[in-house]
Amino acid sequence: MHRADSMGRRLRISGTFVIIGLLIEALCLVWSKPIAFVVLVCIGGTLIGLGVLFFLYSLVTAPAHTTDSSGAAADK
């Protein structure tokens, strides 16, 4: 239960970074000013990168679990 909550929280944080980064990218793509490229790379790219890295970090640091606990989590 604790593991699922912890992972869920991390996915939320990672997903939030990715969503904000993607929305900034979408805005930059329809914004035809030269500064759009800089905003896309510096802000959008950084947020997307942070989200992806945090997601990978979550996977790597997720505590190991047994088949039973996995089944129990899936049941919930």
Partner 1 sequence: MPTFAIVILVLISAVLAGVIVVRPAITLCRAGKILAFGVLFFLPLFSLVAGMSNEMERSESTAFCLSCHIMEPYGKSLHIDDPSYLAAAHYQNHRVPADAACYTCHTDYAMFGTFEAKLGGLRHLYIYYLGKPPLPQNIKLYKPFNNRECLHCHLGARSFEQGATHNADPATLPAIKANTLSCISSGCHDVVHNVGRWGDKVKFWDGGS
Residue 19 engages partner 1 in binding (rule: CB under 8 A)? yes
Give the integer Cα–Cα distance in Å for 76 and 72.
7
Residue 60 engages partner 1 in binding (rule: CB under 8 A)? no
Residue 65 engages partner 1 in binding (rule: CB under 8 A)? no
Give the integer Cα–Cα distance in Å for 23 and 35.
16
Number of residues written out for the chain = 76
Residue 42 engages partner 1 in binding (rule: CB under 8 A)? no
Contact 59, 6 (CB under 8 A): no
Q: Interface residues with partner 1 (CB under 8 A)?
A: 4, 7-9, 11-12, 14-16, 18-19, 21-23, 25-26, 28-30, 32-38, 40-41, 44-45, 48-49, 51-52, 55-56, 73-74, 76
